[in-house]
Structure 1
């Protein structure tokens, strides 16, 4: 073919018309592009055509193997040719992204590292590939390497005088330090980010999106420490910031072909930010014991996810959906709706099993939810198995402690003193990091509960005093109600009847406000017994009626849950195939344990049911 360009352009134009037709005719589009390759074009045209076919097949046909063959051919042809840098870097990025989604992380990292070696003169691609590699390193738990790479990104951004990109690298570094639970590093990085954002002189939209990233990290940090009261002001600022961003005209930033990279990256799309602010609001409401508000926010967020998924079925949206479902399950368990809880767990399992990466990230949470459900169903052996399975796959220190605390409750309730003592060195409040208010308060409560079952009432009261002090400081209403009702139970055991009412009445008020039915059940039983001791028959009858009503409602729901096929999940300990058959029929249900997911920036484009949730 002496002069391939006219034919190439003709075939390319025809291919584009097929691609953009309504509906797109991808088969004929790809055939036109294959026609270019059949004409034996020069390497520069061949490389571009392979890239085009690879990206089209990947996006429209979802044929990953065929797409990878074309992308790898494009990369091979472009890599030694400096005039094909755009093909080289784009094929590198798409290859790495596709391989990472397949779980082939080693090859994904290899392509990105080779791309970084030759992209120093293309600032946009160099920074983009660094962000992409950092994302993979974080997903694989190699936080130290991710931190070093983000430091390099900060240095590169400073050298090319791109404060926007430098801030994104620095904020990403703050996110990694949060994942590492490195309090000192987090404080240092966030302080520097705050100053830089204040001084930032770029566009209003870019500054707003940087501020949203910054506030999200701050809110996530406070919530991970259980500082529900202290975070209110920051959460309000985040909500207002994202509301402002979503009402602004969309001036989405695009790739600058000159190779400059100032303001061409964004943390996440505005639509995803809206869902994220709902998600952290759900998490805040759940910790604050505002379950109705948590349910409302969850329904709004899930509706938005459902709407967006029809246009953009991104992995981040699926992650948001999974985290929301995790939190909704805990709401159902607290309100005594065990039928809804196990149905949602089944739906959650179905979603996670569709993606090995997602299952790997959330299997510990999934088994923890099954453990909490088993506790609510009084199936303690299953609860122990589920919590132990969750611990075996847990890599987060705070969440490991959370699981251990619930396992400690099971050991205390089933009088497994030896097992509790083996666990106690990890769940003693003095062993919990000082900044973790909620975990520290929960640890004190669990130790008080164990001392109560051992009839060590003096020690139990000391632990409860510590728990209530921490819980009251940060408005941790569920822990406060738990602590007060247990203290009331201790006073009743000690026959200090005059003090029981002072503990149980406020505990019941909080439990009804949350609403937490198991604390209500426990509290009404205590008041019934107290009124009987006082000879107050009217009071006894009133509390007896309340107790019987709650018991009837819980037992009815309990029996309904037992009849569900999903209930057998309490025996599921992680085998990938078990349970998929019946969970499939529940995959349309539209209703976390984990905190808000933060993404590395990319290019614009009765007390018998007692547990700690």
Structure 2
């Protein structure tokens, strides 16, 4: 949400004859801005101010400055909290210098939030919001901050109400830019709630607002990037990989435009309600890389996903050196989640498990991320276990992930993969049947086109294992129809090769060949090594049946190459210490010790 500010800390008017205060303040600032900063000396200077028994406004301001310094530069959170609580109490009896009150409430609420004491943060912010209507900047900032806390609690209704109030207030105060930030933030939450009709209404209105915007060019382009990110995510959540392409292209053009704009050369708005920005340009670039990776992964362009992931992780590595903002860790984790799935599709299990370990390290550094991404980590471990034929571990990981997730789409994705585990085990057909009865393609509770297509594929796979071939063909043709509509290449390749297997089982070698050849071509393009392995085995048999020993030999050679590649990688993965992560099903991320002499991170 757009709550970063360009406004500098406000210093209250200094009483005359208080040269001691100016001297100590100047000295403290010199220590703070030294290279490197001398924070300890800065703190000592500010603490000395209390010896002079200053007026209430200076005492409150000094407590705010100390609390903010301690919070930002030290680990002494308790002392920071103590200073800010004193500033907050002192400010209650002050009629003027309201900025002290608002800054104290904002930073104090941040400390409460970091300490997981949201019940203390919310009343402080509500009280400050209640008296801040005359200070446009602070009123908007505090509304964003309280909305963010409600979002963290998954209380999207309260958060949306606050963002709606903020949009109305910004409009009344003549700030179309900040109104757009509030509305787009609300649209983002409605998207999380899958209220797609309301999302469409918000985005339609915001599109008109952005087109008619006449203010700062950087602000307009920033709103446009935010708007297009939501549009792209809207399509991707719905599994509409082909339909999203025009929006994604617009987004990539817009990020190029914003990177060449020089906001420093643009005059600052005189409207205090305008003094916000959504994200720094560098963070926006990473986010555009991320949604491009998400699209490439869903479409089955693994090489493209890998290329953009490498670029994004390199950018994150550079940005973290300058400012390790928590949002960068969130972006890093989401990029890792997508590239891990790409590695597994491409048959690079050893890289995948090392990157899963890396994702665990990110969660150890930012424990809040495990709260929101724990289910995804266990899902990835389940997919890795499947690729290693460790079916008991895969089942345990998927069940852990299903228990942890609150997202309908993720629950369905996990359940479909768990059903495949049961089908592959041979003696677990009843468990697969029970599970798939809950997620039949016709009544699966999702708006995702790709998940419905996947549900048809898994039903086709189930019918195949039960040797109900005609029924399997019906399901797989439905998958193909849906996959082709939205260019879901991997589902298309999997469906074609399975249909090829079915036709071969029925003795129809011509139809089998018509399925297997395009499956192999598409799998090579992705590249999906597992489908290539499967298709090459079928081709070898088909050429043998058709009496073509030369091509049979070629098919055999292809199959041997893919098989050797996967077996070699399988052995490497099983020897890695990170492989033991498949045993982890309870509690926080286990600590991963990197090998001696190795870097703890691949970044």
TM-score bracket, normalised by the shorter chain, equals over 0.9
Higher RCO (CA < 8 A, seq sep 6+): 1
1:106 to 114, 119, 131: 119
Shift of 1:293: 1.1
Structure 1 pair 161–583 and aligned structure 2 pair: CA distance change class (3 A): farther
The residue correspondences of 1:117-266 to structure 2 (distance < 5 A) are 117-251=130-264, 260-266=271-277
2:371 aligned with 1:384, yes or no?
no
Partners of 2:368 and 2:254 in 1: CA distance: 32
SS of the residue corresponding to residue 274 of structure 2 reads coil
Q: 1:491 to 1:585 in 2, by over 3 A?
A: farther
Give the Å deviation of 1:554.
0.7
3-state SS, counterpart of residue 96 of structure 2: helix
Q: Who is 2:3 aligned against?
A: none
Q: By how many angstroms is 1:37 displaced?
A: 1.3
Which shows bigger deviation, 141-150 or 473-482? 141-150
Task: State the distance in 1 between where 2:589 and 2:322 align.
Answer: 30
Q: What is the match of residue 46 of structure 2? A: 33
RMSD over aligned Cα, in angstroms? 1.9
The 8 Å contact of residues 206 and 263 in structure 1, kept in 2 or not, is answered as no
Distance 1:168 1:75 in 2: 28
User: Who is 1:96 aligned against?
Assistant: 109
Report which stretch shifted further, 407-416 or 389-398. 407-416
**In structure 2, the residue corresponding to 1:485 is in which secondary structure?**
helix
Residues 72-471 of structure 1: pairs in structure 2 closer than 5 A: 72-251=85-264, 260-415=271-426, 416-432=428-444, 435-471=447-483
The 1:448–1:584 alpha-carbon spacing in structure 2 relative to 1, beyond 3 Å, is farther
**What secondary structure is seen at the aligned counterpart in 2 of 1:431?**
coil
CA displacement 1:503-528 (0-9 Å, x = unmatched)? 01000101111110000000001111
Question: Which whole-Å deviations, capped at 9, do the CAs of 1:212-243 have from their partners, x for residues lacking one?
Answer: 11100000111112211111111010011011
Q: What is the CA distance between 1:548 and its match in structure 2?
A: 0.8
- What pairs with 1:546-585 in structure 2 (closer than 5 Å)? 546-576=558-588, 578-581=590-593
Gaps in structure 2 of 5+ consecutive residues: 1-14
Q: Could you tell me which residue of structure 2 aligns to residue 543 of structure 1? A: 555
Secondary structure of the residue that 1:345 maps to in structure 2?
helix
CA distance in 2, matches of 1:533, 1:79: 88
- Measured in 2, the distance between the counterparts of 1:301 and 1:406 equals 29
CA distance in 2, matches of 1:4, 1:33: 18
* Bigger Cα displacement from structure 2, 357-366 vs 137-146: 137-146
- Deviation for aligned residue 1:472: 0.5
Give the Cα–Cα distance (whole angstroms) in 2 for the partners of residues 99 and 27 of structure 1.
24
TM-score norm. by structure 2 comes to: 0.94
In 2 relative to 1, CA 34–10 (structure 1 residues): closer, same or farther, beyond 3 Å?
same
How many residue pairs were aligned? Answer: 588
Pick from 30, 36, 47 the counterpart of residue 23 of structure 1: 36
CA separation of 1:47/1:576 partners in 2, compared to 1, >3 Å: closer, same or farther? same
> Does the C-alpha gap of structure 1 residues 424 and 80 become closer, same or farther in structure 2, counting only changes over 3 Å?
farther
Q: 1:277: how far off?
A: 0.6
Give the Cα–Cα distance (whole angstroms) in 2 for the partners of residues 365 and 586 of structure 1.
26
Q: Are the structure 2 counterparts of residues 309 and 294 from structure 1 closer, same or farther at C-alpha, using a change threshold of 3 Å? A: same
Preserved contact between residue 143 and residue 162 of structure 2 (Cα < 8 Å): yes
Partner Cα distance (2:589, 2:331) in 1:
24
Displacement of 1:417: 2.1
Secondary structure at 1:495 match in 2? coil
Give the Cα–Cα distance (whole angstroms) in 2 for the partners of residues 39 and 264 of structure 1: 35
What is the Cα deviation at residue 460 of structure 1? 1.0
Counterpart of 1:606? none
* Contact residue 326 and residue 366 of structure 2 kept, 8 A: no
Shift in Å at residue 319 of structure 1?
A: 0.4
> For 1:485, which of 489, 497, 500 is the aligned residue?
497
Deviation at 1:163, TM superposition (A): 1.6
What are structure 1's unaligned runs of at least 5 residues?
592-613
Distance 1:582 1:182 in 2: 44
Q: Counterpart in 1 of 2:4?
A: none
What is the deviation of 1:65? Answer: 2.2
What is the rounded CA distance, in whole Å, between the counterparts of 1:105 and 1:586 in structure 2? 40
